[in-house]
Amino acid sequence: MRRALIVRGGWEGHSPVEATEMFRPGLTDAGFEVEIAEDLDVYTDAEKLAATDLIVQCWSMGTLTPAQCDGLVTAVRNGTGFAGWHGGIVATFQDSPEYLRMVGGVFLHHPPEFLDYEVRVSREQAHHPIVAGLPDFTVHTEQYWMLSDSLNTVLATTEFGPPDGPATMPVAWTRDWGAGRIFFSAIGHRTEDLWDPAVYTLTHRGLVWASRQVVQ
């Protein structure tokens, strides 16, 4: 039995409880024993994190103490997977550089209104298990403009048009951090966004993929 820890809280506008509960049954079906934490001090429990195979975080607009940040980053470097979506990953803990380096990106801007925009699966990653068989798809929600780095394996992108673009932005990526795996998707401002079949599939697969890798 693998262990998943859902860490949720922060700004209620991203519905951290409702959103994470959407993925709890799928994690259970995938063989995870799921625990919930609604206090960031869980990141200071080194023994618990060392026994955790996957952390799913949905915590927007928060602040990490140095001890919390160090506990989380150390656990991921040692092999605990880390995954999540939207502001719960990249619009939080912005005063913790080590956290931001670990996740590989930070939210910068989105247009004031919801937009219809296309999400394009990266052709170079079309056989990656997270996006294999997924077609390009369109969503109607916030379109995230982010800063990111070249260590990310970009699974899907979107295009910003005028007046902000043209600019290509990552929508979903993976990265390795030490022995740990990371998955992020920019989609998920509302639970309605996450219920979209393509978005749900992308996100669920990403969570499972990020889990700790067992050496045979």
The 10s digit of each residue's pLDDT in 117-158 is 999 999 999 999 999 999 999 999 999 999 999 999 999 999
Bridge partners, residue 140, by sequence: 116
pTM here is 0.97
Q: Say what the pLDDT of residue 215 is.
A: 63
- Which candidate, 86, 138, 139, 140, places its Cα nearest to that of 113? 140
Q: How confident is the model at residue 165 (pLDDT cuts 50, 70, 90)?
A: confident
Q: Is the preceding peptide bond at 166 cis, omega within 30 degrees of 0?
A: yes
Cα–Cα distance measured from residue 178 to residue 62, given in angstroms and rounded to the nearest whole number: 24
